[in-house]
Amino acid sequence: MTITADTNVIFSALYSQSGASHYIFRLIMNEEVKLALTTPTYFEYYDVLMREENLTKLGLSIAQVEDILDLLALLAKKHNVYFLLRPNLIDEKDNLFCECAFASNSEYLVTSNIKDFKSAELKGFEFNIITPGEFYKIWKSRHE
């Protein structure tokens, strides 16, 4: 199964070792789920996680975050985006995740910011937009 994860899922996974986001992160690290990745989504992760206030919140150094991102990039299923999709999301950077989900044929776009995605023009897209908690429930029901 391939998923696209919004930056808030990756941040939450690094912030707390409990919760659905960290569970998803472990699934990615254990190669039970493939993370879809494009160059823009990788750099969005990098930009957000490297902010000084976020490094402080996470209790991680720049080198540690770079190591985590390197590992994610190594494990991820990489995709190129040859066209831009603009479903009129409130946050322009969220469009990057729709493009990634579409280009990768992801089954799910996982985000904690569901309300901004649900108000978008996403009719006809094959991926489902769900929260980490919803993904956790689906995964558990299929695999346990």
pLDDT at 38: 96
Instruction: Report which of residues 94 and 21 the model is more confident about.
Output: 21
Helices assigned H by DSSP within the chain? 7-15, 20-29, 39-49, 52-58, 62-75, 95-104, 114-118, 132-143
The mean per-residue pLDDT over the stretch 8-13 comes to 97
Per-residue DSSP letter, 93: G
Per the prediction, the chain carries an average pLDDT of 90
User: The CATH number of the domain where 125 resides is what?
Assistant: 3.40.50.1010
* Residue 24 pLDDT level (bands cut at 50, 70, 90): very high
Let me know: does 49 contact 65? Beta carbons within 8 Å: yes
What is the tally of structural domains in the chain?
1
Per-residue DSSP letter, 92: G
Which of 23-37, 57-71, 84-98 is predicted with the least confidence, judged by mean pLDDT?
Answer: 84-98
pLDDT at 122: 64
Please state, in angstroms and rounded to a whole number, the distance separating the CA atoms of residues 82 and 52: 33
Residue 47's domain comprises: 2-143
Global confidence as pTM: 0.91
pLDDT of 87 > 70? The answer is no
| Residue pLDDT, tens place only, 108-142 | 999 998 877 776 666 667 788 999 999 999 999 99
Task: Specify the amino acid at residue 69.
Answer: L
Instruction: Report which of residues 88 and 140 the model is more confident about.
Output: 140
